[in-house]
Amino acid sequence: MGNTTPGKALRTLQVLRQDLGKARKILAAVGSQPVHPSEAQRIFRVGWDALTRAHRELAALPAEAADEAVLLKLIALERYAAALAVRLRRLIRGEAVGSNSEPGDDLGEFDE
């Protein structure tokens, strides 16, 4: 990604956001229902794979591609990823995972 432009970086961030969103939808479908341990492990794996891919892709973005717009989207993506990590932790602990409409789930910077 050596010659990544800010535009390409923004597109990468958008794709990563969509991947994280798919994982969050799976977790939202669980909500507060009890989940069989094998199913919980499968769901965890989907979320974990999305998180690790996002962090790998973010780490590969060159500094030259990081303009103000990219940094703003990156902050929003990191918040979204952190919220996914919280849900994954709840899943592992056997707690209610929650819905996609919890406080702090807004992605104003991505929805603009």
Average pLDDT over residues 24-36: 87
pLDDT digits (tens, 9 = 90+) for 46-83: 999 999 999 999 999 999 999 999 999 999 999 999 99
Q: Which of 66, 78, 73, 75 is nearest to 112 (CA)?
A: 73
The answer to whether residue 110 is domain-embedded is no
Number of structural domains found in the chain:
1
Give the domain range for residue 89: 6-98
Distance in angstroms (rounded) separating the CA atoms of residues 53 and 51: 5
pLDDT digits (tens, 9 = 90+) for 79-111: 999 999 999 999 999 888 875 545 444 444 444
pLDDT at 96: 83
Distance in angstroms (rounded) separating the CA atoms of residues 19 and 32: 22
The answer to whether residue 104 is domain-embedded is no
Predicted TM-score (pTM) of this structure = 0.81
